[in-house]
Structure 1
Amino acid sequence: MSAIDSLPPLREVIAAHGLRAKKSLGQNFLLDLNLTARIARVAGDLSRCDVLEVGPGPGGLTRGLLAEGARKVLAVEKDGRCLPALAEIQAAYPGRLEVIEGDALAVDPLAHLMPPIRVAANLPYNVGTELLVRWLTPKDWPPFWESLTLMFQREVAQRIVAQPGSKAYGRLAVLAQWRCDARIALDLPPEAFTPPPKIRSAVVHLTALPAPRFPADPEMLQKVTAAAFNQRRKMLRAALKGLAPDIQDRLRAAGIAPTARAEDVPLEGFCALARELAG
């Protein structure tokens, strides 16, 4: 079954509007409306929330979010070809869908949405990580959003939830887990998409914590993790020597062995080092 509303199946919508996914925009369209409804349910009870969606394409997830009761959806779409298909969804859900043609990196959601706000998106592969880092590193915390329900390449999803000691553990894991609870909620095979990507995908759900797990200066934490993981095979005394002339003493003061490598340092250790360097 693929009917979650009175609108046509997505294959018909794509055919009617000539919507071939563009590789240059990182597009892979989800066709199974039952699957898009499942992703919407990962975001939780949406009846009291406005939802920001980035890259709706022909509107599969958009329809799922609205069918699951989202108070309002703001869909930001860069590809003007998709606007007629999204207009049909607007007509079917009057007053509950606003569509903006533009770049999500340049849109202020608070100018269009009322709290509480959640983000749900099948992110374009070419901007997904950049958007996530922006949402994780605002000037003020808590952020404008309560939760993020985002689809990534499975490799990126694993990097978000990775633990110390694993090859996937890096800057993304530190930034995500410092301020959020993060989990992989769904795995999706390539055949769920058109065109099928060469890799598997996964849906990650991140819930914003009221405050970071450990105190640290955000800018310094980003500097430390960027320097540490950009040269992850080096010992930290070498990888971080550009941050302070006495970096070995700073590492020891933070409880980290100067001969340790970045992938062995837990979140608490990076926060302690950021405090030490900022102080």
Structure 2
Amino acid sequence: MSLADDLPSLRDVIARHGLDARKSLGQHFLLDPTLIARVAACAGDLTGRHVVEVGPGPGGLTRALLATPAAGVTAIEIDSRAVPAIEELRLDVNAGDPPTERLRLLEADAMQLDLAALVPSPRQIVANLPYNVGTPLLIGWLRQAASWERLTLMFQLEVAERIAAAPDTDAYGRLAVLAQWTCRADLLMRIPPGAFSPPPKVFSAVVGLVPHAVQPEPDLFRAMERLTAAAFGQRRKMLRGSLKSLGGAALLERAGIDPERRAETLAIEEFDRLARLL
């Protein structure tokens, strides 16, 4: 008998714990076990991996992750209503003689935590992120990308497309540069609104981020954040104007970049060159 066979349905969990999805928390729950298993599979082979999940809600993705050979799952939940639901799952999963600790639960704000300090390596993050904090969470994790083997994250489709966008496209911007400078970024799976409860107004998508072997030092990452904020803050301006506060034409000349170009035309390597000069 599998774990899923022994557990109540997700709809039953939601009803018993009053887990109506709240817009203020950016919540939209996936309930189809087959679809949830496909999301978990996007993370690849999790054998022996320590997985952190942010925003488990009623626990659908948590169940799918526990059905893999992962060493363990640490669930971070800020919604006090969902905590008892995940605690029930934790007690079921960890029961045994002797008891195990395959599932840990922390009631906390993931924005305030150093997630890499919570679990040993090899570690991954797999999460259906709350819509309202997905981007700031991602940027925080990119700052410590060296700590992670892989990030498998669900966003609104528009955000996912911005992460994976190529230069000289409408979606290419600050998020694409930061993500692709530190990781290989792939859009792995699109999910229609009707798959969620309640259905959002937009499609969602799963993005896979595999950190590069060499990562920027913290000072260099901060320089890239300043650079991309300035460059894309006024993206219709030529770079000599948008980067005026950072050195403008002189900085661009040192980097060998035409000051009349616009930010969206620069490759990741050119942004890297500018950030190192800063």
Report the AA paired with residue 7 of structure 1. L
Of 118, 121, 126 in structure 1, the residue corresponding to residue 124 of structure 2 is: 118
Aligned to 1:38: 38
**CA displacement at 1:87 relative to structure 2:** 1.6
Aligned to 2:276: 275
Deviations 1:157-202 (A, max 9, x none): 0000101100100011111111111101110000110110000000
Moved more, 78-87 or 101-110: 101-110
Aligned to 2:24: 24
Output the CA distance in 1 between the equivalents of 2:199 and 2:224: 37
**CA displacement at 1:111 relative to structure 2:** 4.2
Aligned to 1:78: 78
Aligned to 1:164: 167
Residue aligned with 2:246, SS: coil
Label 1:212 to 1:107 Cα distance change in 2 as closer, same or farther (>3 A): closer
Of 101, 108, 117 in structure 1, the residue corresponding to residue 107 of structure 2 is: 101
Q: 8 Å contact 1:221–1:274 — kept in the other structure?
A: yes
Output the CA distance in 1 between the equivalents of 2:239 and 2:7: 56
Moved more, 255-264 or 105-114: 105-114
- Taking structure 1 as the reference length, the TM-score comes to 0.92
Deviations 1:131-151 (A, max 9, x none): 00001123xxx5221110000
- 2:15 corresponds to 1:9: no
For 1:129-148, list aligned pairs within 5 A.
129-138=135-144, 143-148=146-151
Output the CA distance in 2 between the equivalents of 1:232 and 1:179: 22
Residue aligned with 1:93, SS: helix
Report the AA paired with residue 195 of structure 1. P
- Unmatched runs of 5 consecutive residues or more in structure 2: 95-100
Output the CA distance in 1 between the equivalents of 2:213 and 2:225: 20
Aligned to 1:50: 50
Aligned to 1:249: 250
Q: 8 Å contact 1:21–1:28 — kept in the other structure?
A: yes
Residue aligned with 2:244, SS: coil
Label 1:109 to 1:91 Cα distance change in 2 as closer, same or farther (>3 A): same
- Identity between Structure 1 and Structure 2 (%): 53
Report the AA paired with residue 150 of structure 2. S
Output the CA distance in 1 between the equivalents of 2:214 and 2:117: 24
Output the CA distance in 2 between the equivalents of 1:260 and 1:144: 35
Moved more, 120-129 or 218-227: 218-227
- 2:180 corresponds to 1:177: yes
Of 212, 224, 227 in structure 1, the residue corresponding to residue 227 of structure 2 is: 224
Label 1:272 to 1:108 Cα distance change in 2 as closer, same or farther (>3 A): closer
Q: 8 Å contact 1:154–1:202 — kept in the other structure?
A: yes
Q: 8 Å contact 1:232–1:263 — kept in the other structure?
A: yes
Q: 8 Å contact 2:146–2:213 — kept in the other structure?
A: no
Q: 8 Å contact 1:4–1:34 — kept in the other structure?
A: no
Output the CA distance in 1 between the equivalents of 2:201 and 2:149: 32
Deviations 1:7-38 (A, max 9, x none): 12211211122210011111011111111111
Report the AA paired with residue 135 of structure 1. W
Residue aligned with 1:217, SS: helix
Q: Which runs of 4+ in 1 moved over 3 A?
A: none
- Taking structure 2 as the reference length, the TM-score comes to 0.92
Output the CA distance in 2 between the equivalents of 1:221 and 1:84: 41
Moved more, 30-39 or 121-130: 30-39
